[in-house]
Amino acid sequence: MSARTISIFGATGSVGTSTLDLVRRDRDAYDVQALTANDDIEGLAKLACEFGAKLAVIADEDRYDDLKAALSGTNIGIAAGKDALCEAAGLDPDWTMAAIVGCAGLEPVMAAIEKGKTVALANKESLVSAGALMMAAVKHSGATLLPVDSEHNALFQCLSGGRIEEVRRLILTASGGPFRDWTLEEMCSVTPDQAVAHPNWDMGAKISVDSATMMNKGLELIEAYHLFAVGEERIDILVHPQSVVHSMVEYKDCSTLAQLGPTDMKVPIASALAWPARIETGCGALDLAAIGRLDFEAPDELRFPALRLARAALRRGGTAPATLNAANEIAVAAFLQGRIGFLDIAALVERVLDAADIAEPAGLQDIFTVDRDIRARTSELVGDFSRGD
């Protein structure tokens, strides 16, 4: 059996490195085509050499000479810049990991989709901001889109063997974050250090704050809407503090299928990498007897209004989800910088969303324009919240 050709966009990030950890377990099964990174020259060069990549791409055009120097004496192709990221999809691998963070990953994701092969999607912002455009591209090219987020991958696994028309509802589980039991008064004094200390998952600062506000679950709701055609009204969210059940599918016969697993991203990545087969991950197996109990509760949208805002954006449609995503990124950054309070994050996003002009995007450029304009507008409003207005 010939090796499967793969490319990894965002190779030096947590998802990219976890993917390559899995590839290391069976090197003969995979032929690495392209690896990309934003500005980590040393990390990219090291990985490109280790895996014998055909091409290494750095997103920062100014770092081209640095990458060239780091890979001198090798036969690895070198490229830099935004256009080069899209051109890397031209190597036409069998399988692409799309793990570039933020809207910067949108064009490379679309370029990979247009090749009509298999794309493993770990870029949340792409599907949130341009879900309708992306799914239209998937339909047109015949590409296979595999979700890598633990919740959506869990839904994907639970839907295996079933039919979407038999689904009564999808249930996304949420840990509830570190402030699940805090009152609004207590959350007024939350610090960035407290917000990034997720109780279950080891994640970056931004996504940890999104988990704490539950905006992350709101964004996942929008993702699920595009990935699984059941309608927004049939997608529910359930708080599950242990993060053992990653999501569930309830069928019309009242059977509910759940996917359980350790809190390790290698599990959903392996599901996408090996699909439709399964491979060893090296992760520790669940010990349900040691875990002892699994708790569930309904989310409180009064204390966590981000869930309400995400549903509102999804219902408005058009550029509203892109507006939500862009405003949230600026608000979270302002909180991490100590410029606004924890509860101000959702309040700031709501103000921006309420005032935004929503339209149907004709293409990716419309999404990029909205993303740029909303980031600028949100940044302007940060000062109001900093002054306590």
pLDDT score at 389: 42
**Residue 314, phi then psi, degrees to nearest 5:** -65, -40
pLDDT score at 207: 84
Same structural domain for residues 139 and 169? Answer: no
Residue 384 lies in a domain: yes
- The total number of structural domains in the chain stands at 3
Same structural domain for residues 25 and 140? Answer: yes
CA angle 45, 46, 50 (to 5 degrees): 115
Instruction: Select from 103, 128, 147 the last residue of a domain.
Output: 147
What distance, in Å, lies between the first and last C-alpha atoms of the chain? 64
Residue 309 lies in a domain: no
Same structural domain for residues 85 and 210? Answer: no
Same structural domain for residues 32 and 47? Answer: yes
Q: Provide the CATH number for the domain around residue 125.
A: 3.40.50.720
Instruction: Select from 277, 304, 331 the last residue of a domain.
Output: 304
Residue 73 lies in a domain: yes
pLDDT score at 384: 86
What is the span of the domain harbouring residue 69?
4-147
Q: To 10 degrees, what angle do helices 320-336 and 124-141 make?
A: 150
Residue 100 lies in a domain: yes
Same structural domain for residues 142 and 12? Answer: yes
Residue 349 lies in a domain: yes
Burial class of residue 326 (count of CB atoms within 10 Å of its CB; 0-12, 13-18, 19+): buried
DSSP 8-state symbol, 297: B
Q: How far apart are CA 312 and CA 346, in angstroms?
A: 13
Same structural domain for residues 113 and 252? Answer: no
Which residues contact residue 300 at a Cβ distance below 8 angstroms, ignoring those fewer than 6 apart? none
Same structural domain for residues 355 and 384? Answer: yes
Q: How far apart are CA 309 and CA 218, in angstroms?
A: 8
Same structural domain for residues 174 and 28? Answer: no
Whether the Cβ atoms of residue 76 and residue 54 lie closer than 8 Å to each other: yes
DSSP 8-state symbol, 99: -
Same structural domain for residues 273 and 370? Answer: no
Q: Provide the CATH number for the domain around residue 352.
A: 1.10.1740.10
Whether the Cβ atoms of residue 112 and residue 98 lie closer than 8 Å to each other: yes
Could you write out the DSSP letters of every residue in 330-342? HHHHHHHTTSS-T
Identify the bridge partners of residue 119 per DSSP, sorted by sequence position. Answer: 96, 145
Q: How far apart are CA 95 and CA 317, in angstroms?
A: 30
* pTM of the shown model: 0.92
Same structural domain for residues 300 and 325? Answer: no
Our measurement of the distance from residue 316's CA atom to the centroid of its chain's CA atoms, rounded to an integer in Å, reads 22
Same structural domain for residues 154 and 137? Answer: no
Burial class of residue 135 (count of CB atoms within 10 Å of its CB; 0-12, 13-18, 19+): middle
Could you write out the DSSP letters of every residue in 127-178? HHHHHHHHHHHHHHHT-EEEE-SHHHHHHHHHHTTS-GGGEEEEEEEE---T
* Tokens found for residue 299: 């989310």
Q: For the stretch 367-376, what's the b/e string if a residue is b when 16 or more beta carbons lie within 10 angstroms of its beta carbon?
A: bbebbeebbe
Same structural domain for residues 171 and 246? Answer: yes
Residue 15 lies in a domain: yes
Length of the chain: 389
Name the region of 10 (left: φ>0; alpha: ψ -120 to 50; beta: rest): left
Whether the Cβ atoms of residue 215 and residue 310 lie closer than 8 Å to each other: yes
Q: Where are the beta strands (DSSP E) in the chain?
A: 4-9, 30-37, 55-58, 77-80, 95-98, 118-121, 144-147, 167-174, 235-239, 245-251, 256-260
Instruction: Select from 256, 271, 304 the last residue of a domain.
Output: 304
Residue 311 lies in a domain: no
Per-residue pLDDT of the chain (389 residues; tens, 9 = 90+): 689 999 999 999 989 999 999 999 999 999 999 999 999 999 999 999 999 999 999 999 999 999 999 999 999 999 999 999 999 988 889 999 999 887 778 899 999 999 999 999 998 888 999 999 999 999 999 999 999 999 999 999 999 988 899 999 999 999 998 999 999 999 999 999 999 886 666 667 888 899 999 999 999 999 999 999 999 999 999 999 999 999 999 999 999 999 999 989 999 999 999 999 999 999 999 999 999 999 999 999 999 999 999 999 999 999 999 999 999 999 999 999 999 999 999 999 999 999 999 999 999 999 999 999 999 999 999 988 874 44
CA angle 344, 347, 350 (to 5 degrees): 150
Residue 360: CB atoms within 10 A of its CB come to 9
